[in-house]
Amino acid sequence: MVATPIGNLGDITLRALEVLRGVDVVAAEDTRDSGRLLNHYGIAARLVALHEHNERNAGAKIVALLGEGKSVALISDAGTPAISDPGAHLVAAVRAAGFKAVPLPGANAAIAALSAAGLAEMHFLFYGFLPHSGSERRRQLETLKDTPHLLVFYESPHRILACVADLQAVLGGARRITFARELTKLYETIHACALEEALAWLEADPNQQKGEFVLLVSGAEVVKEEGVGAAARHILEILLAELPLKQAVKLAVEISGEKKNALYELALALKKGD
């Protein structure tokens, strides 16, 4: 599983070049595109097609090649195979047949975007492509609405406006979006704004609607429940029945970890019988 560049042809590893030169067969999503790529590096390889429409059949042939003792490299049109690209079924078939599937890590659009976006969010959810149909897309977004983690989407220029409109409609205008467009290419752009400003930004310059996109959308804000949790209240009630108010509050704070002020207010209210 050999990662190839996502734009800049320099973004290929030494190991990838060595493997692509050395294998008996290179399986590629688009043999014409990959032919150009291999040509660029002066690699003459025997190419076979493996794309989403023939992955199972082509996979069986590749397993047969491995059975004959041949070596095969899989590349996709760009980036890391099997990441929003064909490859997963092939790997499963290769493993099931008792052969090894070896990753050769390299370029990946989502990771490139995350590394240069300057976002401090610790966790992210890689979603990849949302559905093409508007209603299906909005339905999927509803399921992601409360996710507290940064959301990472792939999007093509054909659907960027509709997709951003739906992101705003379903997730709300206050969330931040980072556009990571045409990474590693001439018109590379990384732009962050509120979702409510995003459509206007895209529409102000049609050039910004072209090319390939990674969209990073901040996660749902976690609303910390106001007041005291049920467990802390229960502890406080027990302590108040036995101890003076101040002492009960002090112990309840130690046991529950809740804020002293909140427990003190609650203790006063309980004493008053509210």
Which phi and psi angles does 172 have, rounded to 5°?
95, 155
Mark the segment that binds ligand SAM (CB under 6 A) among 9-17, 34-42, 178-186, 193-201.
Answer: 178-186
Q: Which stretch binds ligand SAM (CB under 6 A): 57-65, 134-142, 210-218, 233-241?
A: 210-218
179 binds ligand SAM (CB under 6 A): no
**Residues with Cβ < 8 Å from 155, sequence gap 6 or more?**
129, 130, 163, 213, 214, 215
Q: Does residue 79 belong to the site contacting ligand SAM (CB under 6 A)?
A: yes
Residue 238 C-beta: closest distance to ligand SAM, Å:
56
166 binds ligand SAM (CB under 6 A): no
Q: Give 28-86 as a 3 state SS string.
A: ECCHHHHHHHHHHCCCCCCEEECCCCCHHHHHHHHHHHHHCCCCEEEECCCECCCCCCC
Taking CB under 6 A as the binding criterion, the range among 59-67, 198-206, 211-219, 264-272 that sits at the site for ligand SAM is: 211-219
213 is an interface residue for ligand SAM by CB under 6 A: yes
| Residue 212 in the binding site for ligand SAM (CB under 6 A) | yes
Q: Which of 58, 183, 248, 263 binds ligand SAM (CB under 6 A)?
A: 183
Applying CB under 6 A, which part among 115-123, 180-188, 189-197, 240-248 lies near ligand SAM?
180-188
Residue with structure tokens 């969010």? Answer: 121
Q: Which of 58, 75, 76, 236 binds ligand SAM (CB under 6 A)?
A: 76
Q: Least distance in Å: CB of 8 to ligand SAM? A: 8
- Closest CB to ligand SAM among residues 7, 59: 7
Which residues, including other chains, have CB under 8 Å from residue 149's CB and lie 6 or more apart? 121, 123, 124, 125, 219
83 is a site residue for ligand SAM (CB under 6 A):
yes
Pick from 89, 138, 149, 185: which binds ligand SAM (CB under 6 A)? 185
Residue 178 touches ligand SAM, criterion: CB under 6 A: no
**Shortest distance (Å) from residue 232 CB to ligand SAM:** 46
Closest distance to ligand SAM from the beta carbon of 64 (Å): 26
Instruction: Give φ, ψ of 88 to 5 degrees.
Output: -65, -45
Using CB under 6 A as the criterion, which residues of the chain lie in contact with ligand SAM when the complex forms?
Answer: 6-7, 76, 78-80, 83-85, 108-110, 154-156, 180-185, 212-214
